[in-house]
Amino acid sequence: MNEYERRAAQAGIHRIAVPTPFQVGRVNAYLIEDEPLTLVDSGPHSERSLAELEAGLATLGHRVEDLELLVISHQHMDHFGLAAALAERSGAEVAALDLLVPVLGDYEAFNDREEEFAQRVMLRHGIPDEMVDGLRAVLPAFRRWGQAVQITRPLREGDTLEFANRRLEVLHRPGHSPSDTVLYDRERGILIAADHLLAHISSNPVIALALPERGGAERTRSLVQYLDSLERTRELDLDIVLTGHGDPLGAHRELIDQRLRLHERRAAKIAGLVDERPRTAHEVALEMWGNIAVTQSYLTLSEVVGHADLLVRDGRTVETERDGVTVYESA
C-alpha cells in the first residue's frame, strides 16, 4: 500500500484488487465507506474474481449484501462484469453514464454490433482477411467475462453523487473508451479515475463504435478525444488519483505532461513513415512493431489510427481511399 492508497483509505475509500484474465492484470474496485455504502467497479464476471472481491470486502468488515450503490466507470468488461450479480444479491442501485443504458442493458446485441464494426475497421485499414478471421474466432471467448446489467441510476456530466460525508462530481472523460467516467471529490482532491489515467502504462484509446445515442460518425476519434480529456483533467486540483489498474498516484500534471509528449513523439514517428511513402495503418503498425499477434492487432491498429487522426486534424497527413482501403500519405 503506497502513500496515496493509505491517504485514500483514511478518507474512507479502499482499493480491492480483483483478478482478470487479461494482459493488464488485476483491476481495482473501490469501496467507499459512507452512506450509501458504494462500490466503484467490480471486476470481470468470474467465480475467482467474485471470491476475491468478497474476501476484500470481508477484510473491511462488509459483505456483498451490504452494498447500496454500484458505480460503473466505463463499458469494458473487466470493470463491470460482476455488477449484475452484485446488484441481484444486494439490491443496490446501479449507476453509470446515461449513454451506457442501452449498451449494458443489451450487452449481447452491442457486442454483435461491435464485432461487426471491428471487422469493417480492420479490413478498411489493410489488415489481411486471415488475421481478421483469426481475431473474430477468439472474440466470442471474451464475452463471458461481461454480463448485461440494468442501469437504474443514469448519470450525466456535471451530476453529483451525494453521500453523508462527501460529494463526488461526475465527469465524462471519453478516449480510452467512449464512456469513461471519473468521480471527483473536490474537497479532498481525490479523483477515482478508472482507466482514464494509469501510472505504469499509457491508457490505450481503442477505436470504438460510437455510443448509440451519440449519432453522427460511426467510430470515435478516440485519441483526439483522449488528449482533450487529459487536458481537462490536468486543470483539476488533485492530491490523489485512484487508478483502475496498478497503484494510486499523485503528481497528475507531471504524468499527463509525459503522456502528451509521448503521443507527440509517436505521431511524429508515424508522420515520418507516411512521408516516406503512402501506407495503410496496418503497414505502419508492421513497420513500428514487426509481426503482430492476432490478439494484439486491434490494439496496435488503434494506436496508429489514433495518431493518424491527429496528423490529419493538424494538416500534416491526408487520408485517401484506394479500393475500399484507407491510405495515409504526406500532405
- Secondary structure (H, E, C), 39-93: EECCCCCCHHHHHHHHHHHHHCCCCHHHCCEEECCCCCHHHHCCHHHHHHHHCCE
Q: Which residues pair with 32 in a beta bridge?
A: 13, 38
- pLDDT of residue 216 exceeding 80: no
Residue 279 is placed in which grid cell?
Answer: 501506407
The rounded mean pLDDT for the chain is: 93
Residue type, position 153, single letter? R
CATH class of segment(s) 269-330? mainly alpha
DSSP 8-class letter at 1: -
Q: Whole-prediction pTM value?
A: 0.93
So what's the pLDDT on residue 143?
79
Q: What is the pLDDT of residues 38-84, one digit of tens each?
A: 999 999 999 999 999 999 999 999 999 999 999 999 999 999 999 99
Residue 47 CA to chain centroid, in angstroms?
23
What's the whole-number mean pLDDT along residues 230-253?
97
pLDDT at 12 over 80: yes
